[in-house]
Chains A and B, each alone.
Chain A
Amino acid sequence: DVKVTQSSRYLVKRTGEKVFLECVQDMDHENMFWYRQDPGLGLRLIYFSYDVKMKEKGDIPEGYSVSREKKERFSLILESASTNQTSMYLCASSLFSGAGNTIYFGEGSWLTVV
């Protein structure tokens, strides 16, 4: 089974703090993604990566950055957390970019910024 692990399930951070969300996948997948999920807005793509050290902006990259130093690990960074970044963050991975390729999700990280 594919396993995508998000190290922190629940976090509370203060405004202005630097926040790291870590994600690891164990299936040697090429592609990794960070989404955020908010009520009524669905899942929105923040950043994705198709290879080590490669990254591409998604639909809502402002206020975020990412790091992928190893194939299995993809980190989301909030440089200076703000209250409007309170959300559920979902990491995902897929083997490749082909038509039928399935994206698998982690359990999510609930971030509250106060």
Chain B
Amino acid sequence: EDQVTQSPEALRLQEGESSSLNCSYTVSGLRGLFWYRQDPGKGPEFLFTLYSAGEEKEKERLKATLTKKESFLHITAPKPEDSATYLCAVRSTDSWGKLQFGAGTQVVVTP
């Protein structure tokens, strides 16, 4: 069974204080690892898809990386508007088109 574990559960940062979120996964065969951002009371918003170990993607202050067992979401010099819950999800070779989600990391960035 596919498993996704995110850590930490919550992260409080000062504005400008860079940090990383972790997503560890166990799948039969990875067909994609997805990062989403979710604001309170709203649906998840797609950020990145990573397919193979060594791959990296960037968007503004966010950078996602992938190894064979985990992915990191690096937040560089965060701003208060980066406050959100960040969700990681995997699609495996035997899961058809479905995603298996982690529980998320809640990030709060204070001025």
Contacts and interface: CB of A to CB of B under 8 A. Distances in A.
Interface of A: 4, 31, 33, 35, 40-45, 48, 50, 56, 58, 90, 92, 94, 96-108, 110
Contacts of B36: 105
Interface residues of B, number: 23
Would you call the interface of chain A mostly helix, strand, loop, or mixed? strand
B97 A94 contact: yes
14 contacts: A40-B103, A42-B101, A42-B104, A43-B99, A43-B101, A45-B99, A50-B96, A99-B31, A99-B32, A100-B49, A100-B51, A104-B46, A106-B43, A108-B41
A23 B103 CA distance: 24
A35 B36 CA distance: 15
Interface of B: 31-32, 34, 36, 41-46, 49, 51, 87, 89, 91, 96-99, 101-104
B87 A108 contact: no
B103 A41 contact: yes
Given A99-B32, A107-B42, A108-B41, A42 B98 contact: no
B96 A107 contact: no
Given A99-B91, A100-B32, A108 B101 contact: no
